Amino acid sequence: MKIALAQLNFRIANFESNRNAIIASINRAKLDGADLVVFSELAVCGYPPQDLLELKDFYENCQHSIDCIAAYCIGIAAIVGAPSLNPNPQGKKLYNSAFFLADGAIKTVVHKALLPTYDIFDEYRYFEPCTTFNVIEYKQHRMALTICEDLWDDQPSDNPFGKSNLYTVSPMGELAQQKPDIIINIAASPFSYNKEQIKKRIFIDKAAHYKLPLFYVNQIGGNTELIFDGGSMVIDAKGNVISELSIFEEDYKVYDVENLINGNCNPHSIKVKSDVEKIHDALVLGISDYFRKSGFAKATLGLSGGIDSAITLVLAVRALGNGNVRVLLLPSEYSSNHSITDAIALAENLKVKYDIVPIIDINSQFINTLQSIFEGLTKDVTEENIQARIRGVLLMALSNKFGHILLNTSNKSEAAVGYGTLYGDMNGGLSVLGDVYKTRIFELARFINAETEIIPKNTIDKPPSAELRPNQKDSDSLPEYDILDQVLHYFIEDQLSASEIVTFGFNKQLVDKIIQLVNRNEYKRFQTPPILRISSKAFGIGRRIPIVAKV
Protein backbone atom coordinates (compact mmCIF):
# COMPACT_ATOMS: atom_id res chain seq x y z
CA MET A 1 0.00 0.00 0.00
CA LYS A 2 1.18 3.52 -0.81
CA ILE A 3 0.17 6.53 1.29
CA ALA A 4 0.39 10.14 0.13
CA LEU A 5 0.64 12.99 2.61
CA ALA A 6 -0.87 16.27 1.39
CA GLN A 7 0.26 19.24 3.47
CA LEU A 8 -1.90 22.15 2.36
CA ASN A 9 -2.77 25.73 3.29
CA PHE A 10 -6.49 25.99 4.04
CA ARG A 11 -8.59 29.11 4.45
CA ILE A 12 -11.26 29.19 7.15
CA ALA A 13 -14.79 28.97 5.66
CA ASN A 14 -13.55 29.06 2.06
CA PHE A 15 -15.19 25.76 1.27
CA GLU A 16 -14.78 25.94 -2.49
CA SER A 17 -11.06 26.71 -2.32
CA ASN A 18 -10.39 24.06 0.33
CA ARG A 19 -12.48 21.48 -1.51
CA ASN A 20 -10.72 22.14 -4.83
CA ALA A 21 -7.28 21.85 -3.21
CA ILE A 22 -8.22 18.53 -1.60
CA ILE A 23 -9.67 17.12 -4.83
CA ALA A 24 -6.59 18.23 -6.80
CA SER A 25 -4.36 16.35 -4.34
CA ILE A 26 -6.57 13.26 -4.56
CA ASN A 27 -6.25 13.28 -8.36
CA ARG A 28 -2.50 13.81 -8.09
CA ALA A 29 -2.14 10.94 -5.63
CA LYS A 30 -4.19 8.69 -7.91
CA LEU A 31 -1.85 9.43 -10.83
CA ASP A 32 1.12 8.67 -8.55
CA GLY A 33 -0.28 5.23 -7.75
CA ALA A 34 -1.16 6.00 -4.13
CA ASP A 35 -3.84 3.93 -2.42
CA LEU A 36 -4.58 6.50 0.30
CA VAL A 37 -4.07 10.26 0.58
CA VAL A 38 -4.17 11.95 3.99
CA PHE A 39 -5.12 15.55 4.80
CA SER A 40 -4.96 17.57 8.02
CA GLU A 41 -7.42 18.18 10.85
CA LEU A 42 -10.59 20.11 9.91
CA ALA A 43 -9.17 20.50 6.41
CA VAL A 44 -12.59 21.04 4.86
CA CYS A 45 -13.35 24.20 6.85
CA GLY A 46 -9.91 25.36 8.03
CA TYR A 47 -8.64 25.58 11.60
CA PRO A 48 -9.70 27.05 13.98
CA PRO A 49 -13.28 27.82 12.84
CA GLN A 50 -14.27 28.96 16.36
CA ASP A 51 -17.89 30.15 16.69
CA LEU A 52 -18.58 29.55 13.01
CA LEU A 53 -19.16 25.99 14.20
CA GLU A 54 -22.33 27.20 15.89
CA LEU A 55 -23.90 28.17 12.54
CA LYS A 56 -26.07 25.58 10.83
CA ASP A 57 -25.12 26.63 7.31
CA PHE A 58 -21.43 26.38 8.17
CA TYR A 59 -21.87 22.76 9.21
CA GLU A 60 -23.99 22.04 6.13
CA ASN A 61 -21.27 23.46 3.89
CA CYS A 62 -18.77 21.15 5.58
CA GLN A 63 -20.97 18.13 4.90
CA HIS A 64 -21.57 19.18 1.31
CA SER A 65 -17.81 19.42 0.79
CA ILE A 66 -17.25 15.95 2.25
CA ASP A 67 -19.88 14.49 -0.08
CA CYS A 68 -18.26 16.20 -3.08
CA ILE A 69 -14.78 15.00 -2.10
CA ALA A 70 -16.00 11.43 -1.53
CA ALA A 71 -17.18 11.27 -5.16
CA TYR A 72 -13.57 11.61 -6.30
CA CYS A 73 -12.40 8.73 -4.11
CA ILE A 74 -12.80 6.03 -6.75
CA GLY A 75 -9.75 3.79 -7.00
CA ILE A 76 -8.21 5.64 -4.09
CA ALA A 77 -9.13 6.38 -0.46
CA ALA A 78 -8.75 9.63 1.47
CA ILE A 79 -8.69 10.74 5.10
CA VAL A 80 -10.11 14.24 5.47
CA GLY A 81 -10.73 16.28 8.63
CA ALA A 82 -14.14 17.93 9.11
CA PRO A 83 -16.78 18.41 11.82
CA SER A 84 -19.51 15.79 12.03
CA LEU A 85 -22.90 15.75 13.73
CA ASN A 86 -23.34 14.09 17.13
CA PRO A 87 -26.50 11.92 16.79
CA ASN A 88 -26.83 11.61 20.56
CA PRO A 89 -29.34 14.09 22.05
CA GLN A 90 -26.97 14.60 24.99
CA GLY A 91 -23.65 16.42 24.70
CA LYS A 92 -22.24 18.91 22.21
CA LYS A 93 -23.74 19.15 18.72
CA LEU A 94 -20.55 18.25 16.86
CA TYR A 95 -17.52 15.99 16.81
CA ASN A 96 -14.09 16.95 15.51
CA SER A 97 -13.78 14.10 13.02
CA ALA A 98 -11.68 12.36 10.42
CA PHE A 99 -13.64 11.00 7.46
CA PHE A 100 -12.36 7.85 5.74
CA LEU A 101 -13.59 8.06 2.15
CA ALA A 102 -13.41 5.23 -0.40
CA ASP A 103 -15.44 3.82 -3.31
CA GLY A 104 -17.09 7.19 -3.72
CA ALA A 105 -18.63 7.23 -0.26
CA ILE A 106 -18.07 7.86 3.44
CA LYS A 107 -16.89 4.52 4.85
CA THR A 108 -15.93 5.40 8.42
CA VAL A 109 -15.89 8.46 10.64
CA VAL A 110 -13.39 8.66 13.52
CA HIS A 111 -13.91 11.26 16.25
CA LYS A 112 -11.36 13.13 18.33
CA ALA A 113 -11.26 12.10 22.00
CA LEU A 114 -8.87 14.57 23.63
CA LEU A 115 -10.14 18.13 23.22
CA PRO A 116 -7.53 20.71 24.31
CA THR A 117 -8.70 23.70 26.28
CA TYR A 118 -5.35 25.33 27.05
CA ASP A 119 -3.49 28.25 25.47
CA ILE A 120 -5.12 29.09 22.13
CA PHE A 121 -7.27 25.96 22.09
CA ASP A 122 -10.92 25.85 23.16
CA GLU A 123 -12.22 22.71 21.45
CA TYR A 124 -14.43 21.51 24.28
CA ARG A 125 -16.52 24.63 23.71
CA TYR A 126 -17.69 23.11 20.42
CA PHE A 127 -17.02 19.38 20.28
CA GLU A 128 -18.13 16.24 22.10
CA PRO A 129 -15.21 13.96 23.07
CA CYS A 130 -15.16 10.46 21.59
CA THR A 131 -15.24 7.51 24.01
CA THR A 132 -15.04 4.56 21.59
CA PHE A 133 -11.99 3.51 19.61
CA ASN A 134 -11.72 1.30 16.53
CA VAL A 135 -9.03 0.72 13.92
CA ILE A 136 -9.77 1.04 10.20
CA GLU A 137 -9.02 -1.87 7.86
CA TYR A 138 -7.99 -1.05 4.30
CA LYS A 139 -5.88 -2.90 1.74
CA GLN A 140 -4.99 -5.60 4.27
CA HIS A 141 -3.71 -3.00 6.72
CA ARG A 142 -5.10 -2.01 10.10
CA MET A 143 -4.80 1.74 10.70
CA ALA A 144 -4.96 3.50 14.05
CA LEU A 145 -6.37 6.88 12.99
CA THR A 146 -5.86 9.64 15.56
CA ILE A 147 -6.58 13.37 15.49
CA CYS A 148 -3.83 15.72 16.75
CA GLU A 149 -4.11 15.78 20.56
CA ASP A 150 -5.19 12.11 20.66
CA LEU A 151 -1.53 11.20 20.33
CA TRP A 152 -0.47 13.69 23.03
CA ASP A 153 -2.25 11.99 25.92
CA ASP A 154 0.75 11.82 28.25
CA GLN A 155 2.02 15.36 27.76
CA PRO A 156 2.63 17.32 30.95
CA SER A 157 0.62 20.41 31.69
CA ASP A 158 2.45 23.72 31.13
CA ASN A 159 1.54 24.71 34.67
CA PRO A 160 0.68 21.40 36.32
CA PHE A 161 0.20 22.19 40.03
CA GLY A 162 1.55 18.74 40.76
CA LYS A 163 -0.27 16.97 37.92
CA SER A 164 1.97 15.02 35.58
CA ASN A 165 -0.57 14.53 32.76
CA LEU A 166 -3.45 16.47 31.27
CA TYR A 167 -5.59 13.50 30.29
CA THR A 168 -7.01 10.37 31.92
CA VAL A 169 -7.42 8.27 28.76
CA SER A 170 -5.00 7.21 26.00
CA PRO A 171 -6.74 6.87 22.63
CA MET A 172 -3.65 5.27 21.11
CA GLY A 173 -3.40 2.93 24.08
CA GLU A 174 -6.96 1.80 23.38
CA LEU A 175 -6.29 1.39 19.67
CA ALA A 176 -3.05 -0.51 20.27
CA GLN A 177 -5.04 -3.36 21.83
CA GLN A 178 -6.59 -3.95 18.39
CA LYS A 179 -3.18 -4.71 16.81
CA PRO A 180 -2.89 -1.93 14.21
CA ASP A 181 -0.13 -1.99 11.57
CA ILE A 182 0.37 1.78 11.33
CA ILE A 183 -0.55 5.02 13.11
CA ILE A 184 -1.98 7.99 11.23
CA ASN A 185 -2.27 11.34 12.95
CA ILE A 186 -3.95 14.32 11.30
CA ALA A 187 -3.35 17.66 12.97
CA ALA A 188 -3.71 21.41 13.02
CA SER A 189 -0.75 22.16 15.25
CA PRO A 190 0.39 25.80 15.29
CA PHE A 191 4.03 26.86 15.20
CA SER A 192 5.87 27.67 18.40
CA TYR A 193 9.63 28.05 18.13
CA ASN A 194 10.21 26.88 21.73
CA LYS A 195 7.97 23.81 21.45
CA GLU A 196 8.95 22.37 18.07
CA GLN A 197 11.45 19.83 19.37
CA ILE A 198 9.06 18.77 22.13
CA LYS A 199 6.35 18.12 19.55
CA LYS A 200 8.70 16.13 17.36
CA ARG A 201 9.87 14.08 20.35
CA ILE A 202 6.26 13.13 21.16
CA PHE A 203 5.80 11.54 17.73
CA ILE A 204 9.16 9.78 17.86
CA ASP A 205 8.43 8.38 21.31
CA LYS A 206 4.94 7.21 20.31
CA ALA A 207 6.21 5.34 17.24
CA ALA A 208 8.96 3.69 19.26
CA HIS A 209 6.68 2.87 22.21
CA TYR A 210 4.03 1.14 20.11
CA LYS A 211 6.61 -0.21 17.63
CA LEU A 212 4.51 1.06 14.75
CA PRO A 213 5.25 3.34 11.78
CA LEU A 214 3.62 6.75 12.16
CA PHE A 215 2.30 9.10 9.47
CA TYR A 216 1.74 12.67 10.72
CA VAL A 217 0.04 15.33 8.57
CA ASN A 218 -0.10 18.96 9.70
CA GLN A 219 -1.47 21.98 7.87
CA ILE A 220 0.49 25.10 6.97
CA GLY A 221 -0.49 28.73 6.69
CA GLY A 222 -1.47 31.75 8.73
CA ASN A 223 -4.96 32.13 10.20
CA THR A 224 -5.01 35.55 11.89
CA GLU A 225 -2.76 35.15 14.98
CA LEU A 226 -1.94 31.49 14.43
CA ILE A 227 0.75 30.29 12.06
CA PHE A 228 0.90 26.62 11.08
CA ASP A 229 4.30 25.35 10.00
CA GLY A 230 3.51 21.99 8.41
CA GLY A 231 6.50 19.80 9.16
CA SER A 232 4.51 16.64 8.42
CA MET A 233 6.62 13.54 8.89
CA VAL A 234 6.94 9.78 8.65
CA ILE A 235 8.59 7.84 11.48
CA ASP A 236 9.47 4.14 11.47
CA ALA A 237 8.69 1.61 14.19
CA LYS A 238 12.03 2.26 15.88
CA GLY A 239 11.42 5.99 16.21
CA ASN A 240 13.63 7.04 13.31
CA VAL A 241 12.41 10.03 11.31
CA ILE A 242 12.31 8.67 7.77
CA SER A 243 11.02 11.77 6.04
CA GLU A 244 9.91 15.32 6.81
CA LEU A 245 7.90 17.61 4.60
CA SER A 246 8.76 21.28 4.23
CA ILE A 247 8.00 23.85 6.89
CA PHE A 248 6.01 27.00 6.11
CA GLU A 249 5.10 25.86 2.62
CA GLU A 250 2.77 23.38 0.98
CA ASP A 251 4.23 19.96 0.29
CA TYR A 252 3.28 16.47 -0.86
CA LYS A 253 4.94 13.07 -0.86
CA VAL A 254 4.10 9.39 -1.41
CA TYR A 255 5.42 6.58 0.80
CA ASP A 256 5.49 2.79 0.45
CA VAL A 257 4.00 1.30 3.63
CA GLU A 258 5.53 -2.17 3.14
CA ASN A 259 9.03 -0.74 2.92
CA LEU A 260 8.39 1.21 6.09
CA ILE A 261 6.96 -1.78 7.99
CA ASN A 262 9.80 -4.02 6.84
CA GLY A 263 12.43 -1.49 7.87
CA ASN A 264 13.68 -0.91 4.32
CA CYS A 265 13.64 2.90 4.61
CA ASN A 266 16.75 4.81 5.61
CA PRO A 267 16.40 7.65 8.13
CA HIS A 268 16.18 11.00 6.41
CA SER A 269 18.37 13.87 7.46
CA ILE A 270 17.29 17.41 6.72
CA LYS A 271 18.88 20.77 7.26
CA VAL A 272 17.69 22.02 10.64
CA LYS A 273 16.78 25.69 10.64
CA SER A 274 17.76 27.88 13.57
CA ASP A 275 15.06 29.36 15.79
CA VAL A 276 15.63 32.81 14.35
CA GLU A 277 15.28 31.56 10.76
CA LYS A 278 12.05 29.73 11.63
CA ILE A 279 10.69 32.84 13.36
CA HIS A 280 11.57 34.91 10.29
CA ASP A 281 9.82 32.48 7.93
CA ALA A 282 6.81 32.19 10.23
CA LEU A 283 6.32 35.96 10.38
CA VAL A 284 6.62 36.34 6.61
CA LEU A 285 3.99 33.63 6.14
CA GLY A 286 1.79 35.16 8.84
CA ILE A 287 1.81 38.58 7.16
CA SER A 288 1.30 37.14 3.69
CA ASP A 289 -1.67 34.97 4.64
CA TYR A 290 -3.28 37.65 6.83
CA PHE A 291 -3.40 39.95 3.81
CA ARG A 292 -4.23 37.31 1.21
CA LYS A 293 -6.98 35.63 3.22
CA SER A 294 -8.48 38.95 4.36
CA GLY A 295 -8.60 40.33 0.83
CA PHE A 296 -6.00 43.08 1.37
CA ALA A 297 -2.90 43.74 -0.70
CA LYS A 298 -1.06 46.79 0.60
CA ALA A 299 0.52 47.79 3.90
CA THR A 300 1.91 50.88 5.55
CA LEU A 301 3.90 51.59 8.69
CA GLY A 302 5.82 54.35 10.41
CA LEU A 303 9.54 54.04 9.73
CA SER A 304 11.43 55.65 12.59
CA GLY A 305 15.02 54.63 11.98
CA GLY A 306 14.73 52.21 14.91
CA ILE A 307 15.21 48.46 14.75
CA ASP A 308 11.59 47.39 15.34
CA SER A 309 10.12 49.32 12.41
CA ALA A 310 13.11 48.26 10.28
CA ILE A 311 12.47 44.56 10.92
CA THR A 312 8.74 45.00 10.32
CA LEU A 313 9.38 46.70 6.99
CA VAL A 314 11.75 43.97 5.78
CA LEU A 315 9.28 41.24 6.71
CA ALA A 316 6.40 43.11 5.06
CA VAL A 317 8.35 43.56 1.83
CA ARG A 318 9.27 39.87 1.78
CA ALA A 319 5.64 38.93 2.39
CA LEU A 320 3.88 41.39 0.09
CA GLY A 321 6.47 42.77 -2.33
CA ASN A 322 8.02 46.23 -2.20
CA GLY A 323 5.38 47.68 -4.54
CA ASN A 324 2.72 46.90 -1.96
CA VAL A 325 4.34 48.66 1.00
CA ARG A 326 4.48 52.40 1.65
CA VAL A 327 5.99 54.07 4.71
CA LEU A 328 5.90 57.41 6.46
CA LEU A 329 8.88 59.02 8.16
CA LEU A 330 7.48 61.23 10.92
CA PRO A 331 10.40 63.06 12.55
CA SER A 332 9.89 65.25 15.60
CA GLU A 333 12.20 67.82 17.16
CA TYR A 334 13.75 64.96 19.16
CA SER A 335 14.48 62.71 16.18
CA SER A 336 18.20 62.42 15.57
CA ASN A 337 19.60 63.08 12.11
CA HIS A 338 20.90 59.55 11.83
CA SER A 339 17.44 58.14 12.58
CA ILE A 340 16.10 59.96 9.53
CA THR A 341 19.02 59.00 7.30
CA ASP A 342 18.89 55.39 8.50
CA ALA A 343 15.18 55.19 7.70
CA ILE A 344 15.73 56.67 4.24
CA ALA A 345 18.61 54.28 3.58
CA LEU A 346 16.48 51.26 4.50
CA ALA A 347 13.53 52.40 2.38
CA GLU A 348 15.85 52.93 -0.57
CA ASN A 349 17.58 49.58 -0.02
CA LEU A 350 14.19 47.90 -0.25
CA LYS A 351 12.94 50.19 -3.04
CA VAL A 352 9.91 51.15 -0.99
CA LYS A 353 7.97 54.38 -1.53
CA TYR A 354 8.40 56.73 1.42
CA ASP A 355 7.23 60.19 2.43
CA ILE A 356 8.73 62.46 5.07
CA VAL A 357 6.11 64.30 7.14
CA PRO A 358 7.63 66.25 10.04
CA ILE A 359 5.34 66.53 13.06
CA ILE A 360 7.08 69.45 14.78
CA ASP A 361 4.51 72.10 13.78
CA ILE A 362 1.55 69.80 14.46
CA ASN A 363 2.92 69.00 17.92
CA SER A 364 3.41 72.69 18.66
CA GLN A 365 -0.23 73.35 17.80
CA PHE A 366 -1.37 70.66 20.21
CA ILE A 367 0.83 72.01 22.99
CA ASN A 368 -0.32 75.58 22.38
CA THR A 369 -3.96 74.49 22.32
CA LEU A 370 -3.57 72.76 25.67
CA GLN A 371 -1.38 75.44 27.24
CA SER A 372 -4.12 77.09 29.29
CA ILE A 373 -5.32 73.73 30.61
CA PHE A 374 -1.79 72.51 31.45
CA GLU A 375 -0.61 75.86 32.85
CA GLY A 376 1.65 75.42 35.85
CA LEU A 377 2.17 71.71 35.26
CA THR A 378 5.54 70.22 34.37
CA LYS A 379 6.06 68.29 31.18
CA ASP A 380 5.76 64.53 31.55
CA VAL A 381 4.73 61.48 29.54
CA THR A 382 1.62 63.35 28.38
CA GLU A 383 3.63 65.44 25.92
CA GLU A 384 5.47 62.32 24.73
CA ASN A 385 2.18 60.53 24.10
CA ILE A 386 0.84 63.44 22.09
CA GLN A 387 3.68 62.96 19.62
CA ALA A 388 3.00 59.24 19.37
CA ARG A 389 -0.71 59.90 18.80
CA ILE A 390 -0.01 62.49 16.11
CA ARG A 391 1.98 59.83 14.28
CA GLY A 392 -0.86 57.37 14.79
CA VAL A 393 -3.38 59.77 13.28
CA LEU A 394 -1.21 60.45 10.23
CA LEU A 395 -0.54 56.77 9.63
CA MET A 396 -4.23 55.95 9.91
CA ALA A 397 -4.99 58.77 7.45
CA LEU A 398 -2.67 57.13 4.92
CA SER A 399 -4.29 53.78 5.68
CA ASN A 400 -7.80 55.17 5.12
CA LYS A 401 -7.01 57.17 2.00
CA PHE A 402 -5.19 54.42 0.13
CA GLY A 403 -6.74 51.30 1.64
CA HIS A 404 -3.49 50.16 3.25
CA ILE A 405 -3.41 48.07 6.42
CA LEU A 406 -1.28 49.69 9.12
CA LEU A 407 1.28 47.27 10.54
CA ASN A 408 2.03 47.66 14.23
CA THR A 409 5.76 47.53 15.04
CA SER A 410 5.78 47.09 18.85
CA ASN A 411 7.77 44.16 20.23
CA LYS A 412 6.82 41.73 23.01
CA SER A 413 9.12 43.31 25.60
CA GLU A 414 7.41 46.69 25.17
CA ALA A 415 3.92 45.18 25.06
CA ALA A 416 4.61 43.22 28.24
CA VAL A 417 5.53 46.22 30.39
CA GLY A 418 3.24 48.79 28.75
CA TYR A 419 6.01 50.72 27.02
CA GLY A 420 3.73 52.03 24.30
CA THR A 421 1.02 54.62 23.67
CA LEU A 422 -2.61 53.68 23.18
CA TYR A 423 -3.98 55.18 19.95
CA GLY A 424 -0.40 56.07 18.98
CA ASP A 425 2.38 53.58 18.35
CA MET A 426 0.00 50.79 19.44
CA ASN A 427 -2.23 51.45 16.39
CA GLY A 428 -2.45 48.90 13.63
CA GLY A 429 -4.42 46.15 11.95
CA LEU A 430 -1.79 43.48 12.63
CA SER A 431 0.99 43.27 15.20
CA VAL A 432 3.99 41.70 13.47
CA LEU A 433 6.49 41.63 16.35
CA GLY A 434 4.17 41.51 19.36
CA ASP A 435 5.37 37.98 20.23
CA VAL A 436 9.07 38.67 19.62
CA TYR A 437 11.23 39.84 22.52
CA LYS A 438 13.64 42.72 21.94
CA THR A 439 16.73 40.54 22.28
CA ARG A 440 15.32 38.30 19.55
CA ILE A 441 14.70 41.40 17.41
CA PHE A 442 18.45 41.98 17.26
CA GLU A 443 18.97 38.35 16.23
CA LEU A 444 16.46 38.82 13.42
CA ALA A 445 18.31 41.92 12.25
CA ARG A 446 21.60 40.05 12.11
CA PHE A 447 19.93 37.17 10.27
CA ILE A 448 18.45 39.56 7.69
CA ASN A 449 21.86 41.19 7.22
CA ALA A 450 23.78 37.89 7.06
CA GLU A 451 24.64 38.15 3.35
CA THR A 452 24.34 41.87 2.67
CA GLU A 453 23.57 44.97 4.72
CA ILE A 454 19.88 45.63 4.25
CA ILE A 455 19.18 47.23 7.62
CA PRO A 456 21.73 50.03 8.24
CA LYS A 457 24.33 48.97 10.80
CA ASN A 458 23.68 52.08 12.86
CA THR A 459 20.03 51.05 13.31
CA ILE A 460 21.20 47.83 14.95
CA ASP A 461 24.06 49.27 16.98
CA LYS A 462 22.52 52.41 18.49
CA PRO A 463 20.82 52.27 21.92
CA PRO A 464 17.04 51.76 21.53
CA SER A 465 15.04 54.96 21.99
CA ALA A 466 11.49 56.20 21.48
CA GLU A 467 12.96 59.66 20.73
CA LEU A 468 10.10 61.51 22.42
CA ARG A 469 12.28 63.70 24.64
CA PRO A 470 15.90 64.90 24.56
CA ASN A 471 18.52 62.13 24.72
CA GLN A 472 15.89 59.54 25.61
CA LYS A 473 16.88 55.86 25.81
CA ASP A 474 14.69 52.83 26.61
CA SER A 475 17.04 51.99 29.47
CA ASP A 476 15.93 55.22 31.22
CA SER A 477 12.58 53.56 31.95
CA LEU A 478 13.27 49.84 31.59
CA PRO A 479 15.90 47.34 32.73
CA GLU A 480 18.42 46.32 30.09
CA TYR A 481 16.66 44.09 27.58
CA ASP A 482 18.89 41.06 28.13
CA ILE A 483 17.72 41.00 31.77
CA LEU A 484 14.15 42.15 31.14
CA ASP A 485 13.51 39.50 28.49
CA GLN A 486 14.75 36.66 30.67
CA VAL A 487 12.43 37.64 33.50
CA LEU A 488 9.53 38.11 31.10
CA HIS A 489 10.11 34.68 29.55
CA TYR A 490 10.13 33.00 32.95
CA PHE A 491 6.93 34.81 33.93
CA ILE A 492 4.96 34.62 30.67
CA GLU A 493 6.08 31.49 28.82
CA ASP A 494 7.15 29.39 31.82
CA GLN A 495 4.45 30.84 34.12
CA LEU A 496 6.77 31.02 37.11
CA SER A 497 6.07 33.14 40.19
CA ALA A 498 8.28 36.00 41.36
CA SER A 499 9.76 33.84 44.13
CA GLU A 500 10.63 31.11 41.63
CA ILE A 501 12.24 33.58 39.21
CA VAL A 502 14.38 35.07 41.98
CA THR A 503 15.99 31.64 42.51
CA PHE A 504 17.69 32.05 39.12
CA GLY A 505 19.76 34.90 40.57
CA PHE A 506 17.66 37.95 39.73
CA ASN A 507 17.18 40.86 42.10
CA LYS A 508 13.86 40.49 43.95
CA GLN A 509 12.91 44.18 43.71
CA LEU A 510 13.60 44.16 39.98
CA VAL A 511 11.54 41.00 39.42
CA ASP A 512 8.64 42.41 41.47
CA LYS A 513 8.75 45.65 39.48
CA ILE A 514 8.72 43.85 36.12
CA ILE A 515 5.83 41.59 37.10
CA GLN A 516 3.90 44.56 38.45
CA LEU A 517 4.37 46.34 35.11
CA VAL A 518 3.14 43.28 33.20
CA ASN A 519 0.05 42.93 35.36
CA ARG A 520 -0.74 46.63 35.46
CA ASN A 521 -0.74 47.00 31.68
CA GLU A 522 -3.22 44.28 30.80
CA TYR A 523 -5.74 46.98 29.83
CA LYS A 524 -3.39 48.23 27.13
CA ARG A 525 -2.81 44.79 25.63
CA PHE A 526 -6.58 44.25 25.56
CA GLN A 527 -6.71 46.95 22.87
CA THR A 528 -3.83 45.77 20.71
CA PRO A 529 -4.27 44.40 17.18
CA PRO A 530 -4.00 40.64 16.51
CA ILE A 531 -0.47 39.45 17.31
CA LEU A 532 1.31 36.91 15.12
CA ARG A 533 2.05 34.02 17.49
CA ILE A 534 5.49 32.41 17.31
CA SER A 535 5.96 31.27 20.93
CA SER A 536 4.14 28.94 23.29
CA LYS A 537 2.49 31.84 25.16
CA ALA A 538 1.66 34.95 23.18
CA PHE A 539 -0.44 37.89 24.28
CA GLY A 540 -3.95 37.63 22.90
CA ILE A 541 -6.31 34.65 22.65
CA GLY A 542 -3.84 32.29 24.34
CA ARG A 543 -3.34 34.35 27.51
CA ARG A 544 -6.54 35.44 29.24
CA ILE A 545 -6.04 37.70 32.25
CA PRO A 546 -8.87 39.80 33.74
CA ILE A 547 -8.23 43.52 33.30
CA VAL A 548 -9.72 44.31 36.71
CA ALA A 549 -7.83 41.63 38.64
CA LYS A 550 -6.12 42.90 41.81
CA VAL A 551 -2.41 42.40 41.13
Catalytic position from the list 62, 128, 148, 278: 148
Catalytic-residue membership of 41: yes
Residue 532, phi then psi, degrees to nearest 5: -65, 125
User: Nearest-CA neighbor of 535 among 478, 495, 480?
Assistant: 495
* CA 224/CA 405 separation, integer angstroms: 14
Would you give the DSSP letter of residue 362? H
Catalytic position from the list 2, 30, 112, 537: 112
Which residues are paired to 127 by β-bridges? Answer: 94
Catalytic position from the list 2, 30, 41, 225: 41
Label residue 490 exposed, middle or buried (CB < 10 Å: 0-12, 13-18, 19+): buried
* CA 263/CA 238 separation, integer angstroms: 9
Contacts of 188 (CB under 8 A, 6+ apart): 40, 41, 42, 47, 48, 81, 148, 218, 219, 228
3-state secondary structure of 115: coil
Catalytic-residue membership of 265: no
3-state secondary structure of 36: strand
One-letter amino acid at 431 equals: S
Catalytic-residue membership of 148: yes
Residue 60, phi then psi, degrees to nearest 5: -65, -35
The rounded Cα 53 to chain-centroid distance in angstroms is 21
Which residues are paired to 531 by β-bridges? Answer: 431
What sections of 180-267 are H helices per DSSP? 196-210, 257-261
Which residues are paired to 540 by β-bridges? Answer: 543
Catalytic residues: 41, 112, 148
